[in-house]
Amino acid sequence: MSTRSRISARISAISESATLAVDAKAKAMKAAGRPVIGFGAGEPDFPTPGYIVEAAIEAARDPRFHKYTPAGGLPELKKAIADKTRRDSGYQAEASQVLVTNGGKQAVYQAFATLLDPGDEVLVVAPYWTTYPEAIKLAGGTQVSVVTDESTGYLASVEQLEAARTERTKALLFVSPSNPTGAVHPREETVAIGRWAAEHGLWVVTDEIYEHLVYGGAEFTSIATAVPELGDRVVILNGVAKTYAMTGWRVGWLIGPSDVVKAATNLQSHATSNVSNVAQMAALAAVSGDLSAVAEMRAAFDRRRQTMVRMLNEIPGVLCPEPKGAFYAYPSVKELLGKELRGHRPASSGELAELILEEAEVAVVPSEAFGTPGYFRLSYALGDDDLVEGVSRLGKLLAEAR
Ligand SMILES: Cc1ncc(COP(=O)(O)O)c(C=O)c1O
């Protein structure tokens, strides 16, 4: 019998996505008849707008879209993405600098696979979205975390980044608005960080998927546009999922310098080939249309955000800075850890989240997976009534902690 392990070391090292795991557990409990309220989902609770769905139906009827098309994306979609990017963030790119991917996730993976050699370091601000470390690791790179907390609203400073930079640092990952914290970097700080990266010859990979979800006077700034000094060392990641309630359609993209896009397209040509043409045509309708759908969602998210943050901060032991973007709150529950609650003494946010799911039938994502233990991520992309009921249940349970 072979003594070789069945699963490669590279793949064994990948953890299950914590956010999807919590969501799956909550859904299974719901299916078993338990009235679970889930704050785990990272997706808008709205359906995809009708005109986008119609475009897909029409595409499905057209034999042209029944066949393979260019691996890097339909030319008309690449052009529309370049135009939309100019419209929304001011960044000028040619259609040839766009690669259409299977969701923003594939763009993340392919960006790092294309840029990193073994040993190359990437600065990642923690709390970070769970997918980044895995994508960096799979690409052979090394993640260097720059840890932030609620005291700065989860924003990293140039000084912190500089302290983490070494000779091996190749790239900075910049995510604003952020998943999981909802933090949004003000323009001046974005510019300062971008100039620092440019000065040290670093690449900047910027994830702009939440560009349209900012609230209460906060503004989205594209580091790529605001810091022209970055020149051709910037890669933009984006997609239709969050802006147009299209998480299930799986269309994202990467915009970068021609050599990077060509190399990433080569990779994709062997991995997945073209994204489903029907989904690409839906994405074409989305990015060439207006932004009224996201304006409606933004108004609802903003209302829920304010309700959630207020209610969370009323719970003793919970501290929630105001998220300025995306659709997540990231409260600290550090004060509650180690306290007695219904016969248990949860010592980590993971243990506390499990107890909450069992006792209050509320699903939150524990923060271990985001690189900063002691917090929860709660999505406010769910109906207002469920939101109020869920946070009330949470408050009632946590009030018992002694
Ligand atoms: C910060 C961030 N980037 C990228 C994505 C990828 O989205 P998708 O693959 O659904 O396009 C997500 C999804 O949760 C995200 O939160």
Q: In terms of domains, do 247 and 300 share one? A: no
Which CATH number covers residue 169?
3.40.640.10
What is the pLDDT, as a whole number, of residue 15?
A: 78
Q: In terms of domains, do 85 and 178 share one? A: yes
User: Is there a domain that residue 24 lies in?
Assistant: yes
**Domain boundary pick from 242, 261, 289:** 289
Q: In terms of domains, do 361 and 259 share one? A: no
Sequence-distant (6+) residues with CB within 8 A of 119 are 140, 141, 142, 168
Give a three-class secondary structure readout of the chain: CCCCCCCCHHHHCCCCCHHHHHHHHHHHHHHCCCCCEECCCCCCCCCCCHHHHHHHHHHHHCHHHHCCCCCCCCHHHHHHHHHHHHHHHCCCCCHHHEEEECHHHHHHHHHHHHHCCCCCEEEEEECCCCHHHHHHHHCCCEEEEEECCHHHCCCCCHHHHHHHCCCCEEEEEEECCCCCCCCCCCHHHHHHHHHHHHHCCCEEEEECCCCCCECCCCCCCCHHHHCHHHCCCEEEEEECCCCCCCHHHCCEEEECCHHHHHHHHHHHHHHCCCCCHHHHHHHHHHHHCCCHHHHHHHHHHHHHHHHHHHHHHCCCCCECCCCCECCEECCECHHHCCCCECCECCCCHHHHHHHHHHHHCEECEEHHHHCCCCEEEEECCCCHHHHHHHHHHHHHHHCCCC
Give the burial string for 11-49 (b: 16+ CB within 10 Å, else e): eeeeeebbbeebbebbeebeeeeeebbbbbbbbbbeebb
207 lines ligand 1 (CB under 6 A): yes
Q: In terms of domains, do 249 and 322 share one? A: no
Q: In terms of domains, do 16 and 147 share one? A: no
Q: In terms of domains, do 81 and 123 share one? A: yes
User: Is there a domain that residue 1 lies in?
Assistant: no
User: Is there a domain that residue 4 lies in?
Assistant: no
Q: In terms of domains, do 374 and 273 share one? A: no
Give the burial string for 173-201 (b: 16+ CB within 10 Å, else e): bbbbbbbbbbbbbeeebbbbbbbbbbeee
User: Considering the entire predicted model, what is its pTM?
Assistant: 0.95
Q: In terms of domains, do 176 and 269 share one? A: yes
The span from the CA of 177 to the CA of 237, in Å, is 13
How far away, in angstroms, is 66 Cα from ligand 1 center?
Answer: 27
What is the pLDDT, as a whole number, of residue 18?
A: 65
Which CATH number covers residue 343?
3.90.1150.10
How far away, in angstroms, is 68 Cα from ligand 1 center?
Answer: 25
Residues in the chain, pLDDT under 70: 1, 17-19
Distances (CA, A) of 391 to 1, 35, 128: 54, 14, 24
**Domain boundary pick from 230, 254, 289:** 289
Residue nearest to atom 4 of ligand 1 (CA): 104
What is the pLDDT, as a whole number, of residue 371?
A: 94
**Domain boundary pick from 243, 269, 289:** 289
Domain span at 299: 9-47+293-399
Please answer whether residues 104 and 243 qualify as being in contact, where contact means their C-beta atoms are separated by less than 8 angstroms. Answer: no
Substitution site in 125, 175, 242, 276 for ligand 1 pocket (most atoms within 8 Å of beta carbon) = 242
Q: In terms of domains, do 310 and 203 share one? A: no
User: Is there a domain that residue 111 lies in?
Assistant: yes
User: Is there a domain that residue 168 lies in?
Assistant: yes
How far away, in angstroms, is 209 Cα from ligand 1 center?
Answer: 7
What is the pLDDT, as a whole number, of residue 208?
A: 98
**pLDDT per residue as tens digits for the range 278-316:** 999 999 999 999 999 999 999 999 999 999 999 999 999
Domain count along the chain: 2
User: Is there a domain that residue 106 lies in?
Assistant: yes
211 lines ligand 1 (CB under 6 A): no
Query: What's the token pair of residue 68?
Result: 């393979």
Q: In terms of domains, do 18 and 145 share one? A: no
How far away, in angstroms, is 402 Cα from ligand 1 center?
Answer: 38
User: Is there a domain that residue 102 lies in?
Assistant: yes
Q: In terms of domains, do 304 and 392 share one? A: yes
Nearest to 204 by CA among 182, 177, 237: 237
Q: In terms of domains, do 282 and 141 share one? A: yes
What is the pLDDT, as a whole number, of residue 26?
A: 84
User: Is there a domain that residue 3 lies in?
Assistant: no
What is the pLDDT, as a whole number, of residue 4?
A: 86
